[in-house]
Structure 1
Amino acid sequence: MTTTPHETYDVAIVGSGPSGAIAARRLAEAGFSVVCLEQGEYPNYTSINFEEPTFELTRDMVFSWNPNTRMNSADYPINDSESDVSPFMWNGVGGSSVIYAAAWHRFQPSNFRVKTLDGVAEDWPLTYEDLAPYYTRAEIQMSVSGVGGDPSYPPFDPPLPPMPMGVLDKKMFAAHERLGWHIWPGTNAISTVKQNGMNPCVRRGACMAPACFDGAKGSVDRTHWPINIKLGVKLVQRARVARVETDSSGLATGVTYIDRATGQTHFQPARIVILSANGIGTPRILLNSDSNRFANGLANSSDMVGRNLMMHPHGMVMGLFDDHFDSWQGPTGQRAYSQQFTETQPGSGFVRGAKWQLMGTGGPLGTIGVWPWGKRAGWGEEFHKAVYKRFGRSGMWSIIGEDLPNPENRVLIDPDLKDADGIPAPKVVYRCDDNSRKLVKWHEEHAAISFKEAGAYETIAAPDSRETGWHILGAARMGNDPETSVVNPFNQAHDVPNLYVIDGSVMPTSGPVNPTGTVAALALRAAEAIAMTRRDQVVSSKVA
C-alpha cells in the first residue's frame, strides 16, 4: 500500500457532525491547528424542490435516513441482519444533524445516576451540574428555541423565543392540565428569528427529510462549519478513514484514509486524534485499528469497544379528531413534550421511562402508508375517506424510551462485508429486551389516554417497525475504571492518552430524550479539557 504524507496537525478529527464540528471550533479558538476528515460532502439542498408536487416521493430517494436504503457514494454498508432496529445516519458534512428533527433536550439530573436510583445500567462519572454550563453554551451555538422555566429541569432558558403554538398544541396543553400531567412547549435547535446567519423557521415541516431548505434548522454544516473554516480548520471531504495508526509505545500518530475521489491512500499525521464518527462508525474504526500491541482493536483492553449499543425503544400513537387543524406544519420534531413519565413507574413491571414528543402527522403522503397507521389507505372511495380522516385531523405522540445498556448489543466487524474502498464493514447485533417492550406498551396506553382527554375519537398505536434507529449510543462508554470503560470522564481513551472519542458512543446510558443536546455538551466539555491541559498532553515522538 502506498501512502501520501501530509502536514502534521495538532488535532485530526474524524467526522464533521455535531460533536466533531463543536470540538473543531473550540480547539481552533484555543489556537490548535485542526484538520477534519469527512467521508462525505456538503449536503445538496437543491437536489429536490419543495415546491414540486413530487416532493414527498423524491425526498426519500436522496435523503433517506437509512444508509442501506440510500446508498449514496459516501455511505458504507451495515450488516443489520441480527438487529431488531435499522440504524440511521447521514454521512456528509454536518453528519446526522442534516437529517435530525432538531428536537433538543438536556438530560434530567436523575438520568446521570440510573444505577443509584434503580439498580440497573451504570451511573455516569459526571453529573448534570458538571455538564450544565456546556449545555448552555452549546444551545447558543445551535440556535435553540423554546420556553424557559420547565419544572421538570433545574432552571435554564433557551436562547431564542419559541415556535408559535398551534391548535393541536393548545388541545394537548388543556388535556394535560386536566389530567395533572406535565407538558411543555417544544425546545428545538431551530431558529425562530434571523440571527448568526440563520433564517427564521417558516414551518414547512421538512426538518428531517430532506432537511431544512430554508436555513433555519441548527445543522452544523450551517451553524459551525462556516465559522470553523474562518478559524482555519481544514475540512477534507471524501476522505474515508480506515484506521488510527499508533507507534511502538501505543500512542496515536494519525489516521490512514482513502481519498474517495482518486482511490489514493493517505496518512494524516496528528499529535491528537479525535474520533467523532457516530455510535457505529467510531467502534468500527477502533476495531479495524488492530495491531500487534492492540490485538483486539484500539483502546479495547476492556473489551468494551462496540458493546452496550443503545438505540432507544420507540413507539408512536396517533389521535384522530373531528376538527381540521395545522398538523402538517412544522416543526417536525416536537411542538411540545411531556416528561411526566421519564422515571420508573412503581408497579409497572419495567424500569426507567420515556419522553413523549408531540408531532404533526405530515403531508398527504404521510397519511396513506402502513406505518404508522397500521394499514394502507386503500383504493378509490376508501382512499379518500382515509386521507380525509388523517390529513389535518390527527396528531402524534412519539415515545422515546430509555434503552438500558446490554454488552451483548454491540457493533462488530463483519468477516465478509466490505465498503466500496475495501475497508471491513460493521455488523450490528441488537435485540430489544422484555423491559423495552413493556415500557413502550405502557407508554402507548397512556399516550392514548392523553389524546382521548384532548377529544380524539380514535387512537392508533403504530405497528412495530425496524426503521427507528435514529439515536446510536454507547458503544465506547466513558467511566473511571479502565477495566469496564473505553474513555475517561473527559473522553480520553484509557489505553491511548492522545486518542479521544467525542460522540454519542461514550454515553453510559441513553436517557429517555433525544441525545444531540447531551452529545453537543459533552463535545464542548471534552474539547475544553484538551485545550486546558495541552501542556500535559502526551504525544508520540513521531509527531511531536
Structure 2
Amino acid sequence: MTDVVIIGSGMGGATLAAALAPTGARITILERGHQIPDDAPARDPWRIYVNSAFRSDETWLDEAGRPFEPGNYYNVGGNTKLYGGVLIRCRAEDFEEQQHAGGLSPAWPFRYDELAPWYDRAEQLYQVRGDASSDATEPPHGQPYPYPPIPDEPAVAEVRARLERVGVRPFTLPLGVDLNRWLAGGATGWDGYPDTRCGKMDAETCGLAEALRHETVELITGAEVTGLALGADNKRIGEVIYRKDGEEHRLRPALVALCAGAVQSAALLLRSGIANSSDQAGRCFMNHNATAMIAIDPRFRNDAVYQKTWGINAWYHSDGAGGPPLGNVQLLGRVTPDILKTQVPRLPMPLARWVSGHAIDLYLISEDLPDPESRVVLNGGKVQLLWRRSNMAAHAGLVAKTKETMKKAGFPIVLSRLFDGRVPSHQCGTVRMGDDPQNSVIDPQCRSWDHPNLFVADAGALPTSAAVNPSLTVAALALRAAETIKKEIAA
C-alpha cells in the first residue's frame, strides 16, 4: 500500500519527496531510469558527447514528423545529474507581466514574494554557494546563501576584471557544487558531466537522499509509467500504471504527483486522456533561446579547469538603452580540446587545443514566450515536439551586445552557435499553472483543476520561462506544493 506516488526523481520529484517524507506518509517514487553507477565513464567527454553513454535510445518527432534523439536523460536524479549546478532565482520582475521584443510575457498567478521563502528553503536543501550582493538584479532573500561562493580561477578572474574595466560587472553564479569533492573525482568541470555522487548538489544527492532517510519512502527504478486511470468517481486518479522488467504493475494511491519533466509529464496526461478539460496540456512549450559563444584572444591563456563561476545580467531587464529585456549570460563549463573536437569534428586537434587554450566560453539565454501553438503532442504514440521559437530579436540583440562587449574586453575573435531544438535548453511550460481553469492545467498550488488528488511539480508547471536556469524555481515550487499536499495527507 502507498499513500503518495511521485512520478519522476528529478528536481521536482526529489524535492517534493524530501518535503513530504517527515509526514510519515507511505511514499513511492517511480523512476523510469536507473542510478548512474560509480564506475560510469563520467569524466570522458567522448562517451558523454559522442557515444551518448548516458542518453536513452528514445526518439521523438520534430514538426515535420522526422525522428530525432532528444538530449534528455532518464536517471535517478533526472536531468540534474548532468546540469551545470546553477541554482539561481527568477528575478522579481519575472513574476510580473513584461513586454518583450517578441511579445508579452504574462504574469504568474502570484508574485515573487509568495515564492521567496521557498527559495530560501530550496537553497538550504541544495547547499547553494553564492553571494547575493554581487548581482544588482537579485531579488530579496530571507537569509544568506548557506555557503560562500566558489572562487574564480585566475584566468576566469582576469576576464571578470577585463569586463569590469569596460563597464560590465559580472555577478557570482549561485552554484550547487562542493568544489573539493568534485575535483577529487577528476580535474574537469561539472557542467555537462554526470555526477556519480562526488560533489554535485543535484536531485539525487540532496532531495532524494533526504527523502530516503525515511523508511516510509521507497524508490522503484526502471519503472516507466504508462498511464493514469480515473477511479470509480471518474474524478480522482484511481490507479498509476507502470511497467518494470516487462511486467505491468498498478498502484492505487490517495495522491499522485507528476514530476516527469515538461515533455514527459504532458505526454503522460495526453496519453491518459486526463487533466485536459482546458485543452492546455502540452501547450505553451518553452525552451530557452540559447547560444554558445567562444571569445578568443591569442594573448590570453586559459588554464582553468571548471571555469563556470560568473554571469552577466547587465541586459536582463533591458537592452541598456531603454529597450526591452535581452537575457542572461553565464560562463559555460570549460570547453576543453576534446569537447571542442566532439562538437566540430572537422577541426584539427592541434587547432582545437589552440582555440581552447586562448578562449573563454559563454552561454547566452533569452526568454522564450508562451505560445499555445508551441506544444507537445502524440503522433502514433510517439512524442512530437512542435516548438515555435519566439523572441528571437531579443536573442539576436543579446548575442550582438555580448560580442561587442567581449571585443571591447580584448577578445578580437568571437564565434557563436545557436542551439537547435534537439538541445533541451530548460524545457518548461507544458502543464502550466494559472488562476483560470480555462487557460491553465493546474492551479497556483500545483493541483490539477480537473482531479483533486493530482499535482504537477516539475518545470511543466512554469507559466513563463524567464531567462535563468529553472532548477531552483522548480525546487521552490515543489516545496510550496508540499504544504498543500501535507494538508491533504493529514485530512
Normalized against structure 1, the TM-score is what?
0.83
**Matched residue, 1:257:** 242
Structure 1 residue 155, shift from structure 2 partner = 3.8
Q: Does 1:426 align with 2:383?
A: yes
Q: List alignment gaps of at least 5 residues for structure 1.
A: 1-6, 194-198, 291-297, 416-423, 537-544
Letter in 1 for 2:113: E
SS at match of 2:117: helix
Q: Distance in 2 between matches of 1:327 and 1:125?
A: 46
Q: Decide whether the 8 Å contact of 2:228 with 2:240 is kept in 1.
A: yes
Q: Decide whether the 8 Å contact of 2:429 with 2:462 is kept in 1.
A: yes
1:174-223 per-residue CA deviation (whole Å, 9 max, x = no partner) reads 23323333411221111246xxxxx3555733424441346111122222
User: Of residues 159, 166, 173 in structure 1, which corresponds to 2:160?
Assistant: 173
Q: Decide whether the 8 Å contact of 2:317 with 2:326 is kept in 1.
A: yes
Structure 1 residue 454, shift from structure 2 partner = 2.3
Aligned ranges 1:21-32 → 2 under 5 Å = 21-32=14-25
SS at match of 1:316: strand
Over 3 Å counting, the alpha-carbon distance change for 1:316 and 1:108 in structure 2 is same
1:115-159 per-residue CA deviation (whole Å, 9 max, x = no partner) reads 489971321011111111111111111121122313211343321
User: Of residues 114, 117, 137 in structure 2, which corresponds to 1:133?
Assistant: 117
SS at match of 1:303: coil
Q: Does 1:239 align with 2:204?
A: no
User: Of residues 355, 373, 384 in structure 1, which corresponds to 2:328?
Assistant: 355
Normalized against structure 2, the TM-score is what?
0.91
Q: Distance in 2 between matches of 1:97 and 1:107?
A: 18
Over 3 Å counting, the alpha-carbon distance change for 1:49 and 1:446 in structure 2 is closer
Structure 1 residue 322, shift from structure 2 partner = 2.4
Over 3 Å counting, the alpha-carbon distance change for 1:446 and 1:501 in structure 2 is same
Structure 1 residue 377, shift from structure 2 partner = 2.1
Letter in 2 for 1:92: N
Q: Distance in 2 between matches of 1:137 and 1:317?
A: 34
Structure 1 residue 352, shift from structure 2 partner = 3.6
Q: Decide whether the 8 Å contact of 1:162 with 1:192 is kept in 2.
A: no
SS at match of 1:343: coil
Q: Distance in 2 between matches of 1:397 and 1:450?
A: 12
Aligned ranges 1:467-482 → 2 under 5 Å = 467-482=422-437
SS at match of 2:13: helix
SS at match of 2:474: helix
Aligned ranges 1:46-57 → 2 under 5 Å = 46-48=39-41, 50=43, 55-57=44-46
Q: Does 1:368 align with 2:341?
A: yes
Q: Does 1:492 align with 2:436?
A: no
User: Of residues 333, 339, 347 in structure 2, which corresponds to 1:377?
Assistant: 347
Q: Does 1:162 align with 2:119?
A: no
**Matched residue, 2:104:** 120
Aligned ranges 1:65-84 → 2 under 5 Å = 67=55, 70-71=56-57, 76-82=58-64
Q: Distance in 2 between matches of 1:342 and 1:182?
A: 13
Over 3 Å counting, the alpha-carbon distance change for 1:46 and 1:208 in structure 2 is farther
Q: Distance in 2 between matches of 1:448 and 1:279?
A: 32
Over 3 Å counting, the alpha-carbon distance change for 1:277 and 1:377 in structure 2 is same
Letter in 2 for 1:309: F
Q: Decide whether the 8 Å contact of 2:289 with 2:425 is kept in 1.
A: no
**Matched residue, 1:410:** 375
User: Of residues 265, 268, 286 in structure 1, which corresponds to 2:251?
Assistant: 268
Over 3 Å counting, the alpha-carbon distance change for 1:210 and 1:117 in structure 2 is closer
Over 3 Å counting, the alpha-carbon distance change for 1:328 and 1:320 in structure 2 is same
1:36-62 per-residue CA deviation (whole Å, 9 max, x = no partner) reads 111111112412264xxxx33223356
**Matched residue, 2:410:** 455
Q: Does 1:400 align with 2:365?
A: yes
Letter in 1 for 2:87: W
Q: Decide whether the 8 Å contact of 1:83 with 1:430 is kept in 2.
A: no
SS at match of 2:227: strand
Over 3 Å counting, the alpha-carbon distance change for 1:431 and 1:510 in structure 2 is same
Over 3 Å counting, the alpha-carbon distance change for 1:401 and 1:264 in structure 2 is same
Q: Distance in 2 between matches of 1:122 and 1:308?
A: 12
**Matched residue, 1:513:** 468
Q: Decide whether the 8 Å contact of 2:10 with 2:77 is kept in 1.
A: yes
Q: Does 1:335 align with 2:330?
A: no
Q: Decide whether the 8 Å contact of 1:87 with 1:472 is kept in 2.
A: no
Letter in 2 for 1:108: R
**Matched residue, 1:540:** none
Q: Share of identical aligned residues, percent?
A: 26
Letter in 2 for 1:301: S
**Matched residue, 1:104:** 87
Structure 1 residue 168, shift from structure 2 partner = 3.5
Q: Distance in 2 between matches of 1:116 and 1:454?
A: 31
Letter in 1 for 2:59: P
Letter in 1 for 2:156: D
Q: List alignment gaps of at least 5 residues for structure 2.
A: none
User: Of residues 265, 268, 278 in structure 2, which corresponds to 1:302?
Assistant: 278
**Matched residue, 1:541:** none
Q: Distance in 2 between matches of 1:441 and 1:115?
A: 19
SS at match of 1:120: strand
Q: Decide whether the 8 Å contact of 1:125 with 1:489 is kept in 2.
A: yes
Aligned ranges 1:275-314 → 2 under 5 Å = 275-290=258-273, 298-314=274-290
Q: Distance in 2 between matches of 1:502 and 1:464?
A: 27
Structure 1 residue 283, shift from structure 2 partner = 0.7
Over 3 Å counting, the alpha-carbon distance change for 1:346 and 1:176 in structure 2 is closer
**Matched residue, 1:293:** none
Letter in 2 for 1:499: L
Q: Distance in 1 between matches of 2:14 and 2:405?
A: 39
